[in-house]
């Protein structure tokens, strides 16, 4: 299955974010801790200052001759610039610098205020912080007992917290700006450091990606950092070893492929799914596969059912030598199933061997038959002559039959020896420049001496060819004998010699007006012992080897031969020979 790329973060992003988070957290911690400590310091200082103010106010109250608490509270507040309240021991507000005189009666009892309770308890001075319900502001309250005209009262001064809050706000802003600047500097430093530390890792990842894609020339430069330098050295060593191993594997693969391609047997490698993964040159030629794609299914390449089924079975079970008959062709198949799945199958084309076996069988059968017939005749006539004393005419007839059959055997043996020499390479053509007409007339003179003079012969044309004289003489002799054997007593034999327009080969044809060859027999007339009309050939002593010998001679001299005939209208044998002066 194709891998899906997962989203991720780059390492320098992670390092940068981590450093930035740490610096930001430190700045926030500094702000919180310093803010708390500074507030405590300011509160202590403010309480000390408020204590001095209470002492001063107490001196003013006790020394004042005024008896109006509200006026006295406003007088002291005007000097101290703080809120001043005079409270009876019962908690009733007698005077307040921040409350209108006509509203003093509506002010709630202050006896339960913490600072008042502490002052009544004898703790002087006492302090408390809260938001005033009377004036709606946050104050630091300080209270102590005093005497107004010898009447005990509670003197309370309330200092607003806004100064402290303002000082703390200014401090927080200063620290925040300093922290932001520090974070900016830290951010730039962290980014630079993260890039510097991660660049070798990014470069290593890039080289590893190239290595995974098959680029084994990439190497990682060494870093100043010991760990990264060791990693680079290990990576480069790994790349060197991989490159060397893959070079060895590639060389072994090429050698193995060359070895397989040089094999005469066809080799087909299949995977566990029955798909073709490798073929050699012989297999592609035998099965006409062309450039078969890798992992192609067998059904798209092999059409023959028996061969396809045998290859499919080879994936699951090994097969010893098994012959596959594909009509005109025969394959010997052997396969071996592999342990990890799949199979390797070899195909050997034994068509030629089977054809040779058939030719051998036919040869043995035909030769035995051809030898048996004249030998049987010779034995019969000889036994008759030995056992009886026939009259002279009969004796002469028997003796002529024995002689004719002996000549027939001699011709058969001579033809077999000629074929044996041609097949084994014992006869090698000795090409020489010669005139076709000279060889033709020499051959016809030898034949005409043994045939009826009523037959006619014509020769049209001539050419100087390069051929073996004895071989060409044997060719014309065999062709003339066939022509005479298959024509009537007044038949006609003609030889036509011509050359092609390019002047490279001579075209020679031997034509007779005899009985011809049936169309079904025409493709096989150059086979050994094959005769289109066996009864007539045997009557005239034919062996069925003449045209096979002719084909061998023409091929050995660099020519080609073919036959053209129609039943009842004669036969034409055409062949070519190289002209003199051609290479």
Question: HEC string of 116-131?
Answer: HHHHHCCCCCEEEEEE
The average pLDDT across 468-472 equals: 87
Residue 463 has pLDDT above 60, yes or no: yes
Q: Which of 1-15, 165-179, 264-278, 381-395 has the lowest mean pLDDT?
A: 1-15
**What is the pLDDT at residue 583?**
59
Residue 287 domain boundaries:
263-349
CA dist 523 and 426 (Å) reads 28
Residue 196 has pLDDT above 80, yes or no: no
pLDDT band of 325, cuts 50, 70, 90:
confident
- Strands 505-512, 151-160: parallel, antiparallel or unpaired by DSSP? unpaired
Which position has the higher pLDDT, 498 or 16?
498
What are the tokens at 552? 């061998």
CA dist 321 and 315 (Å) reads 16
pLDDT band of 510, cuts 50, 70, 90:
very high
User: What's the total number of domains in the chain?
Assistant: 5
**What is the pLDDT at residue 9?**
57
Q: Is the same domain home to 360 and 332?
A: no
What are the tokens at 293? 């794609």
Phi first, then psi, for residue 558 (nearest 5°) are 85, 20
Question: Is residue 206 a part of any domain in this protein?
Answer: no
Q: What is the CATH number of the domain that holds 375?
A: 1.10.287.130
Question: Is residue 189 a part of any domain in this protein?
Answer: no
**What is the pLDDT at residue 59?**
81
Query: HEC profile for 185-250?
Result: HHHHHHHHHHHHHHHHHHHHHHHHHHHHCCCCCCCCCCCCCHHHHHHHHHHHHHHHHHHHHHHHHH
Nearest to 266 by CA among 293, 299, 289, 296: 289
3-state DSSP: the chain helix, strand, coil percent, rounded to 5?
55, 20, 25
The average pLDDT across 491-499 equals: 89
Where is 84: in which H helix or E strand? strand 83-88
Residue 2 has pLDDT above 60, yes or no: no
**What is the pLDDT at residue 134?**
64
| Domain end (from 349, 364, 380) | 349
Q: What is the CATH number of the domain that holds 60?
A: 3.30.450.20
Question: Is residue 547 a part of any domain in this protein?
Answer: yes
Which position has the higher pLDDT, 230 or 474?
474
Cα torsion 469, 471, 477, 479 to 10°: value is: -120
Q: Is the same domain home to 368 and 468?
A: no
Residue 392 has pLDDT above 70, yes or no: yes
B/e letters for 188-199, b = 16+ CB within 10 Å, e = fewer, are eebbeebeeebe
CB 201 within 8 A of CB 76: no
**What is the pLDDT at residue 1?**
41
Residue 350 has pLDDT above 70, yes or no: yes
**What is the pLDDT at residue 575?**
92
CB 81 within 8 A of CB 158: no
Phi first, then psi, for residue 19 (nearest 5°) are -65, -40
Which position has the higher pLDDT, 452 or 106?
106
Q: Is the same domain home to 147 and 33?
A: yes
What are the tokens at 482? 């066939």
Question: Is residue 473 a part of any domain in this protein?
Answer: yes
Question: Is residue 203 a part of any domain in this protein?
Answer: no
**What is the pLDDT at residue 375?**
84
Q: Is the same domain home to 122 and 236?
A: no
pLDDT band of 136, cuts 50, 70, 90:
low
| Domain end (from 203, 233, 257) | 257
Q: Which of 6-20, 101-115, 311-325 has the lowest mean pLDDT?
A: 6-20
Q: Is the same domain home to 68 and 122?
A: yes
Residue 538 has pLDDT above 50, yes or no: no
The average pLDDT across 529-543 equals: 54
Tell me the CA distances in angstroms from 51 to 44, 72, 85, 112, 452, one per residue in order. 10, 19, 15, 21, 169
pLDDT band of 509, cuts 50, 70, 90:
very high
Question: Is residue 181 a part of any domain in this protein?
Answer: no
Q: Which of 107-111, 326-330, 333-337, 555-559 has the lowest mean pLDDT?
A: 326-330
- Tell me the pLDDT of the chain averaged across its residues: 78
Q: Which of 322-331, 396-405, 482-491, 560-569 has the lowest mean pLDDT?
A: 322-331
What are the tokens at 145? 């007992």
Most confident of 206-210, 440-444, 522-526: 440-444
The average pLDDT across 178-207 equals: 74
Which position has the higher pLDDT, 183 or 526?
526
323-329 contacts: CB < 8 A, separation 24 or more? 323/350
Most confident of 70-74, 382-386, 450-454, 511-515: 511-515
pLDDT band of 107, cuts 50, 70, 90:
confident
Residue 3 has pLDDT above 50, yes or no: no
pLDDT band of 280, cuts 50, 70, 90:
confident
Query: Would you call 70 helix, strand, or coil by DSSP?
Result: helix
Sign for the pseudo-dihedral over CA of 264, 557, 456, 497 = positive
Q: Is the same domain home to 79 and 41?
A: yes
| Domain end (from 166, 197, 212) | 166
Cα torsion 62, 68, 74, 79 to 10°: value is: -30
CB 170 within 8 A of CB 78: no
Nearest to 120 by CA among 141, 95, 91: 91
């Amino acid at each position: 299955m194709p891998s899906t790329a997962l989203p991720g973060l780059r390492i320098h992003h992670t390092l940068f974010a981590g450093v930035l988070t740490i610096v930001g957290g430190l700045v926030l911690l500094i702000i919180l801790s310093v803010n708390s400590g500074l507030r405590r310091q300011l509160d202590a200082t403010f309480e000390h200052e408020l204590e001095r103010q209470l002492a001063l106010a107490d001196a003013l109250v006790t020394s004042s001759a005024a008896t109006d608490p509200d006026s006295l509270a406003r007088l002291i507040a005007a000097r101290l610039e703080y809120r001043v309240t005079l409270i009876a021991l019962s908690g009733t507000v007698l005077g307040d610098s921040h409350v209108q005189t006509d509203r003093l009666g509506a002010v709630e009892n202050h006896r339960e205020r913490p600072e008042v309770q502490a002052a009544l308890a004898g703790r002087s001075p006492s302090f408390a912080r809260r938001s005033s319900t009377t004036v709606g502001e946050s104050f630091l309250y300080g209270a102590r007992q005093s005497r107004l005209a010898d009447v005990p009262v509670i003197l309370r001064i309330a200092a607003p917290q806004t100064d402290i809050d303002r000082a703390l706000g200014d401090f927080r802003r200063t620290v925040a700006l300093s922290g932001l600047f520090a974070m900016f500097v830290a951010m730039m430093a962290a980014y630079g450091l993260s890039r510097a530390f991660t660049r070798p890792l990014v470069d290593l990842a890039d080289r590893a990606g190239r290595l995974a894609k098959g680029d084994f020339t990439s190497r990682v430069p060494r870093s100043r950092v010991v760990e990264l330098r060791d990693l680079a050295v290990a990576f480069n060593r790994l790349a060197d070893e991989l490159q060397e191993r893959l070079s060895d594997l590639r060389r072994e693969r090429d050698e193995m492929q060359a070895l397989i391609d040089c094999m005469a047997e066809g080799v087909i490698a299949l995977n566990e799914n029955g798909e073709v993964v490798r073929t050699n040159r012989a297999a592609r030629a035998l099965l006409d596969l062309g450039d078969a794609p890798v992992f192609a299914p067998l059904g798209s390449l092999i059409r023959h059912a028996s061969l396809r089924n045998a290859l499919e079975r080879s994936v699951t079970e090994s097969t010893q030598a098994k012959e596959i008959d594909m009509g005109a062709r025969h394959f010997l198949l052997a396969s071996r199933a592999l342990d990890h799945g799949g199979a390797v199958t070899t195909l050997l084309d034994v068509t030629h061997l089977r054809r040779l076996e058939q030719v051998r069988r036919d040869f043995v059968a035909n030769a035995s038959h051809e030898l048996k017939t004249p030998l049987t005749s010779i034995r019969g006539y000889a036994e008759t002559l030995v056992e009886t004393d026939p009259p002279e005419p009969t004796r002469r007839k028997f003796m002529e039959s024995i002689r004719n059959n002996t000549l027939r055997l001699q011709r058969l043996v001579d033809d077999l020896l000629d074929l044996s020499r041609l097949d084994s390479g014992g006869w090698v053509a000795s090409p020489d420049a010669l005139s076709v007409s000279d060889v033709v007339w020499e051959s016809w003179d030898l034949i005409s001496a043994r045939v009826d003079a009523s037959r006619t012969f014509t020769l049209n044309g001539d050419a100087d060819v390069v051929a073996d004289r004895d071989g060409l003489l044997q060719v014309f002799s065999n062709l003339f004998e066939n022509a005479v054997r298959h024509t009537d007593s007044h038949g006609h034999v003609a030889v036509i010699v011509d050359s092609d327009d390019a002047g490279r080969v001579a075209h020679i044809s031997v034509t007779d007006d005899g009985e011809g060859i049936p169309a079904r027999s025409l493709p096989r007339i150059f086979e050994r012992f094959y005769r289109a009309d066996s009864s007539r050939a045997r009557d005239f002593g034919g062996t069925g080897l003449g045209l096979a010998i002719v084909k061998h001679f023409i091929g050995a001299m660099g020519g080609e031969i073919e036959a053209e005939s129609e039943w009842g209208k004669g036969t034409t044998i055409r062949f070519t020979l190289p002209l003199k002066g051609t290479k």
